[in-house]
Amino acid sequence: MSSRRYFSQALVAFGMSKQYYSQSAVCQATSTPVADLRKEYSNMGLHEGSLPLDPIELFTQWMDEAKQANVLEPNAMCLSTCASDVPTARVVLLKRFDTRGFVWYTNYGSRKANDLERNPKAAITFWWGDLERQVRIEGVVEKVSAEESDEYFHSRPVGSQIGAWSSTQSQKIASRDELDRQEQQAKTKLSAYTATDQLIPRPLNWGGYRLVPHRIEFWKGRKSRMHDRIVYEKKPTQGNLSAAEW
């Protein structure tokens, strides 16, 4: 009984309806050994001859299809960095992509920012399980312009803008109460802007990064684990990766 109550509370916390889950289904799911959890993928695969020459075109198509399929946060991606000999990874949200690369925003004092300061090479991974698809992207990371960061910052909800002023990301704090106090202090500090509908200035320690890709792999799950992978790679032109063609 206790396991069912806990599961229901978790569903409510994530805004999910618990009416679709019976106690027997929950018990069956939780009792299955991890080694026995598996899904048989479809036989639909990737056919190289039908794919575009530009991987950004294919990524756009796959992203659109993930959105149409109502995949939960289709722009969520695992960002992997490595400052020394210990890689770190976390999920962030893609906020823009084009032929120049893939953009996300964060605190420039965060652990991932410190990693990128020491080693600007990184990888991002998208997993769209409902579509049996994964995209892996590797490249070099650069900061976006201040103008791009300003534009995106001012497109965010006011609460998120205040949040960027409130959190010293990746820094240890005593408790959640301390973070809440920091948020309240930021609200007070910025009240002159919010009360008069003025633009809240972007904190200088917050902004965007762009991963400039040199390798993109598209993965499609296939029956009996005989998966398909198509890889696009850039070959540097006289040492200039950004000018290279796929």
Distance in angstroms (rounded) separating the CA atoms of residues 125 and 217: 9
Q: Active-site residue among 90, 136, 225, 229?
A: 225
Question: In terms of residues, how long is the chain?
Answer: 246
CA 8 to chain centre: 27
Q: Which residue has the tokens 């300003």?
A: 150
- Determine contact, residues 31/24, Cβ cutoff 8 Å: no
What is the rounded CA–CA span in Å between residue 111 and residue 201?
A: 23
- Which SS3 state, helix, strand or coil, does residue 11 take? helix
Amino acid sitting at position 239: G
- For CA atoms 180, 183, 189, 191, the dihedral sign is negative
Whether 5 is catalytic = no
Could you tell me the end-to-end alpha-carbon distance of the chain, in angstroms, rounded to an integer? 57
> What is the rounded distance in angstroms from the CA atom of residue 205 to the CA atom of residue 108?
5
How large is the C-alpha radius of gyration of the chain? Answer: 22
Question: Which residues are the active-site residues?
Answer: 225
